[in-house]
Structure 1
Amino acid sequence: MPISPRPRPRLLTRPSVGAERNLRDTLRDERTGGVLLLVGALAALVWANASPGTYRAVSDTVVGPAALHLDLSLAHWASDGLLAIFFFVVGLELKREMVVGELRHVRTAVLPAVAAVGGMLVPAGIYLAVNLARPDGAPVGWAVPTATDIAFAVGVLALVGRGLPVALRAFLLTLAVVDDLLAIVVIAVAYTDHVAVGLLAGALVAVAAFGVALARGLRSPWLLVPLALAAWGLLHASGVHATIAGVLLGFTVPASPGSARRPRATPGDAAEDDDPDLPDGSLAERYEHVWRPLSAGVAVPVFALFAAGVTIAPETLGAALGDPVAQGVALGLVLGKPLGILGATWLLARFTRARLAPGLSWADVLAVGALAGIGFTVSLLVGVLAFGEGSAHDEHVVVAVLAASVVAAAIGSVLLAWRSRVHTARAADVTADDRPDGAANR
């Protein structure tokens, strides 16, 4: 009897359903997102310093149809295109916070919201103070140190803050979400030179159609994806930064409990409801579950790859140290963020009835404020918008954001680890006190 030949193993075959599910779950983990973002930044630094010519050549490679004004470099596609996915997820988070989260009630939203405003005003003030006092200053970059990188900050919190109260995590998340919202407003208003009103109106119509389709239970990707792409393309052509389209689309997704259930059958996408891994809550929660792996695993790391590539030469570092732009960015992130967040929170508690959540102290707020000085993703994006490609300040902004984010992460990690030990010890003491006499000594 002839022996049938053994099947040859195949390389790079599609993984099993279980393997795909595990990969997506890993990419949804906050720590994984922070690690991948760091890997992208480190890869950019290594590549730009090992072979600056090829790095620049790849970054400047133009692809896309010129007839649609989409003949963009790969670096532009990363910041204008892929980052729109990240902002779509941010929009979903904002919508959920406003409907069912901390932002739905004034009493729970006011404290982190005011802290976020303080965490933007003080860094901007420090930047302006440094740059207005120097003849070679560039006040136009005032918004660079105002943004917190939610992926990095939450990733660090997950790594070192296991013993921290849930209220402190909620404070950081809400603060970062409001911070993102304010950064989006800044990008849309402060860094939009001209607007083609007709194209902007067309983009808004596409966004509205996307929202109406979802409200009517129409969720087929054959309908939603073209509408989303139309909104993005029209907004990009209008002069408004295209990432705003991601936020607007995220805002249209229903976030009320139970909205994930389709009101009537829709051909072509019934399989979505049969997926046991999808959450049963709101449609915004479901879409966040679906899109977060792509945002954390592809969009943000690739953006970092093209945004963080700076040549670390002695002359570059020396020029950055002497540039008021780099000085303002670094001081704004490392000092301005914690001072602004702590100061605004204290003023609100001092002059109103607002109070910290039970179990939290001002040392906890200071630790969160220090961690909020990690300004990677949005800070780099705002730097590109503020100074443009080829500016003398380009590399200096990248150096300042990277250095300040590392310092802020280190300081925040130390403070949060200390607060975690304090809260863990306090919880252990409370548990021991609640035991019957002598039980704690057994």
Structure 2
Amino acid sequence: MNQQRQPLLRSMFAPVRALFVSDASAGILLIIVAVAAMFAANSALSDEYLTFFYGELFEKDLFKLNTLHLWINDGLMAIFFFVVGLEVKREWIEGQLSSPEQRRLPILAAIAGMAVPAIFYLFFVQGSAEDLTAGWAIPAATDIAFAMGVLGLLGNRVPASLRLFLLTVAIVDDIGAVMVIAIFYTANIKIGWILGSALVLGLMFAMNRMKVSSFTPYIVLSLVLWFFVLNSGVHATIAGVAAALTIPMVGKDNDTMLEHLEHGLAPWSAYLIVPIFGFANAGVNLSTIGMEGILAPLPIAIATGLFLGKQVGIFGIVLAAVKVGFAKRPEHASWTEIWGVSILCGIGFTMSLFIGELAFPGNRMLIDEAKIGTLIGSLCSAIFGYIILRFTTTHSDAQEVIEDTPKTA
């Protein structure tokens, strides 16, 4: 009797076990943080919540980051982007993006997964009273931790190839988001600070070529680079990605410098930096925005772009690429499973919130509407993607899925 019950018990507790052996815990933490932020913003603590993050710490003339919210978005998030940069470099040189064959389908899917949501967005905001075109990139991003967290809850039901596909698409998506921020969300360029940034970055690349194996000079110069970029007009978080690209893969003693640094910082990024960012940015006071604001063109456009645009773009391009022989379908994955994972790519929590702040600087109402659209679109993508994968997949090789799933930043 006990032997008969063991497989059933293992099946029942597979999602719980996944919290400790996969990326599910980081995703669940983000869900909790988002709920907590919405509770704080819509409770008796609303004023304290806003004052804590947006209250001035000192005069703007003293230093431009004069609120805790700015320190989180422009300072702390630079570390998150640094970890993203490390992951991108490792994957590009020796990981899942290291060969043309491996890059082909994820890059194609990521491009379509950014372009089609942007088209959906622009379609729904046309004719609106305000010019909302600046927010076109908000629904273009995929949140790695959130999406992988939903997959983790599915335990052994999703083949390893699809987990890998989702991860690589999200990594390429991050590259695209960084480029979008650098190109389209940049204020007035200050040439002196740009030249100073280029000089510091050149020095860091020179240290790379000389195989400087101490982390200290890279950390010091990364802080200098961040300060220069902060004052240059380019968003400060770009300094994190640029600095990460200078870290050597191996040092003088052939120690794995980049991987060691990535593994050391990834937990801090996933379990501290991103949750702090989420709590500071996800809270919206619904009483001030009202039902009219929730149903306004901006949140509808973002939610539609994330939920519909992502799945149409990614699933459509994968289907077309496989049918014409340009790329191979992920192994052991059905078209229904690929569709389910395409829907999960519409979870855009972290990057979407971040770009929303950049798209409408100083306009609190539009920023709040962008947050609502991001939360609705991400929630719909998470729920529907989970349901499709939960009730249509039949894979049972749990050990293979767990062992083959790479860890994310």
Task: Report the TM-score range of the alignment, normalised by the length of the smaller protein.
Answer: 0.7 to 0.9
Give the Cα separation in 2 of the matches to 1:163 and 1:426. Answer: 8
Given the alignment of the two structures, is residue 145 of structure 1 paired with residue 139 of structure 2, yes or no? yes
Report the equivalent of 1:37. 30
Give the Cα separation in 1 of the matches to 2:199 and 2:399. Answer: 53
Which of the numbers 277, 298, 312 marks the counterpart of 2:272? 298
CA contact (8 A) 2:122 2:136 kept: yes
Which of the numbers 331, 337, 344 marks the counterpart of 1:364? 337
Counterpart mapping for 1:172-191 below 5 A:
172-191=166-185
Overall identity of the aligned pairs, in %: 36
| Count of equivalent residues | 381
Q: Cα distance, 1:221 vs. partner? A: 4.7
Given the alignment of the two structures, is residue 351 of structure 1 paired with residue 324 of structure 2, yes or no? yes
Amino acid at match of 2:192: G
Amino acid at match of 1:329: I
Give the Cα separation in 1 of the matches to 2:108 and 2:66. Answer: 38
Q: 1:28 to 1:162 in 2, by over 3 A?
A: closer
* CA deviation vs aligned residue, 1:366-423 (integer Å, no higher than 9, x gap): 111110110000000111100113343121111111121111111111122234x422
Counterpart mapping for 1:19-30 below 5 A:
30=23
CA contact (8 A) 1:27 1:33 kept: no
Given the alignment of the two structures, is residue 402 of structure 1 paired with residue 396 of structure 2, yes or no? no
Q: 1:286 to 1:222 in 2, by over 3 A?
A: closer
SS at 1:424's partner residue?
coil
* CA deviation vs aligned residue, 1:121-161 (integer Å, no higher than 9, x gap): 11100110111143445122111111001111111112214
TM-score (norm 2): 0.86
CA contact (8 A) 1:349 1:355 kept: yes
After TM superposition, the structure 1 stretch with the greater mean CA deviation from structure 2, 371-380 or 192-201, is 192-201
CA contact (8 A) 2:165 2:330 kept: no
SS at 1:392's partner residue?
helix
Amino acid at match of 2:190: A
Report the equivalent of 1:93. 87
After TM superposition, the structure 1 stretch with the greater mean CA deviation from structure 2, 31-40 or 215-224, is 215-224
Which of the numbers 378, 383, 395 marks the counterpart of 1:423? 395
After TM superposition, the structure 1 stretch with the greater mean CA deviation from structure 2, 104-113 or 220-229, is 220-229
Q: Cα distance, 1:66 vs. partner? A: 5.8
Q: Cα distance, 1:426 vs. partner? A: 12
Q: 1:416 to 1:211 in 2, by over 3 A?
A: farther
CA contact (8 A) 2:96 2:102 kept: yes
Q: Cα distance, 1:425 vs. partner? A: 8.6
Q: 1:216 to 1:68 in 2, by over 3 A?
A: farther
Which of the numbers 376, 391, 401 marks the counterpart of 2:349? 376
Give the Cα separation in 1 of the matches to 2:217 and 2:106. Answer: 37
Unmatched tracts of structure 2, length 5 or more: 1-18, 401-409
4+ residue runs of structure 1 moved beyond 6 angstroms?
A: 425-428
* CA deviation vs aligned residue, 1:172-203 (integer Å, no higher than 9, x gap): 11100011111111111111131112212212
Please say which structure displays the higher CA radius of gyration.
Answer: 1
Q: Cα distance, 1:171 vs. partner? A: 0.6
Give the Cα separation in 2 of the matches to 1:147 and 1:377. Answer: 8
Give the Cα separation in 2 of the matches to 1:383 and 1:353. Answer: 35
Which of the numbers 235, 248, 253 marks the counterpart of 2:247? 253
Report the equivalent of 2:200. 206
Given the alignment of the two structures, is residue 60 of structure 1 paired with residue 51 of structure 2, yes or no? no
Given the alignment of the two structures, is residue 262 of structure 1 paired with residue 236 of structure 2, yes or no? no
After TM superposition, the structure 1 stretch with the greater mean CA deviation from structure 2, 29-38 or 142-151, is 29-38
After TM superposition, the structure 1 stretch with the greater mean CA deviation from structure 2, 336-345 or 137-146, is 137-146
CA contact (8 A) 2:211 2:248 kept: no
**Aligned-residue CA RMSD in angstroms?**
2.5
Q: 1:243 to 1:29 in 2, by over 3 A?
A: farther
SS at 1:62's partner residue?
coil
Q: 1:285 to 1:344 in 2, by over 3 A?
A: same
